């Protein structure tokens, strides 16, 4: 924990970057965490484009502890990292950056993988075999790693741009995962997986009919959280199916970001972590 020469806690600055970013609930989550920990830290949302990212990073001073990143910055930041965790290397993207002042470098982390796995586990889903993945962007890479850690052996990706699936195909080979693909406009409704994971961005609504069997038997994990429910989630809710909302993923991955910013490592638990996480969830109206 960062302390000044007098032993009193220093003011540290952090931010979530993206474009657009005004919708982000990360400031509420992090503010609640640092308040619960008694840290006088400031965490804000800052609109930063890909072109502006290098200058933004270069202009940070010693008060800056770290950054959270949304797309496309998760991949744009990679050339600036001096070190990265296993999940960043695997997925080719970092959603968390720690300013390592001692070694004068940036350390990149991917906490989205943890966010996905813990959201499934919190919903009572501890193992998966088959998954349908909607969307093929950077978050899809984290989902592939996460569902593999839950035991998935087959994933079918539905996307509007199958020609851009090269990185995901390569990742699936590394993970020894059977990967299929299908167009979003012609989904095979006879395939009823254990889970459907939508990585379609916030506010994107596509009229998808995955069929009554999927609504009843597959768990839906929709990473979008604003507005909620999405059209897809509404179909599941209407049939009484199981839905995991994206706000759960945001909260779980933010907890690991707080660990990184406070303790310097994702595996080092916070003091009274259960109470800290409860405060974070309350800040975004998630039940405890």
What is the rounded CA–CA span in Å between residue 81 and residue 68?
A: 14
Instruction: Verify whether residue 25 is a known catalytic residue.
Output: no
Give pairs for 94-98: CB < 8 Å, separation 24+. Answer: 94/69, 95/68, 95/69, 95/70, 95/253, 95/257, 96/66, 96/67, 96/68, 96/69, 96/256, 96/257, 96/260, 97/66, 97/67, 97/69, 98/65, 98/66, 98/260, 98/261, 98/264
Q: Which of the residues 65, 74, 75, 259 is marked catalytic?
A: 74
What is the rounded CA–CA span in Å between residue 123 and residue 126?
A: 9
How many residues are listed for the chain in this entry? Answer: 288
Residues annotated as part of the active site: 74
């Amino acid at each position: 924990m960062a302390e000044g020469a007098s032993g009193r806690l220093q003011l540290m600055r952090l931010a979530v970057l993206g474009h657009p970013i005004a919708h982000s609930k990360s400031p509420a989550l992090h503010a609640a965490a640092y308040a619960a920990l008694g840290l006088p830290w400031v965490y804000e949302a800052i609109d930063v484009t890909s072109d502006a990212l290098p200058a933004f990073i270069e202009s940070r001073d010693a008060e800056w502890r770290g950054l959270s990143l949304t797309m496309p910055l998760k991949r744009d930041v990679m050339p600036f990292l001096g070190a990265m965790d296993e999940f960043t290397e695997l997925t080719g993207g970092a959603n968390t950056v720690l300013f390592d002042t001692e070694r004068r470098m940036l350390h990149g982390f991917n906490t989205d993988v943890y966010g996905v796995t813990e959201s499934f586990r919190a919903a009572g889903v501890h193992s998966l075999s088959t998954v349908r993945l909607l969307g093929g962007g950077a978050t899809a890479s984290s989902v592939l790693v996460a569902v593999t850690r839950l035991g998935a052996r087959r994933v079918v990706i539905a996307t509007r741009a199958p020609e851009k699936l090269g990185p995901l195909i390569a990742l699936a080979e590394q993970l020894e995962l059977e990967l299929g693909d299908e167009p979003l406009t012609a989904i095979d409704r006879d395939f009823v997986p254990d889970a459907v994971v939508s990585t379609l961005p916030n506010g994107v609504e596509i009229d998808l009919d995955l069929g009554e069997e999927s609504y009843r038997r597959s768990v839906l994990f929709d990473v979008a959280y604003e507005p909620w429910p999405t059209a897809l989630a509404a179909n599941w809710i209407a049939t009484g199916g199981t839905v995991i909302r994206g706000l759960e993923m945001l909260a779980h991955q933010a907890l690991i970001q707080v660990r990184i910013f406070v303790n310097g490592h994702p595996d080092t638990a916070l003091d009274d972590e259960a109470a800290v996480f409860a405060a974070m969830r309350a800040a975004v109206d998630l039940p405890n």
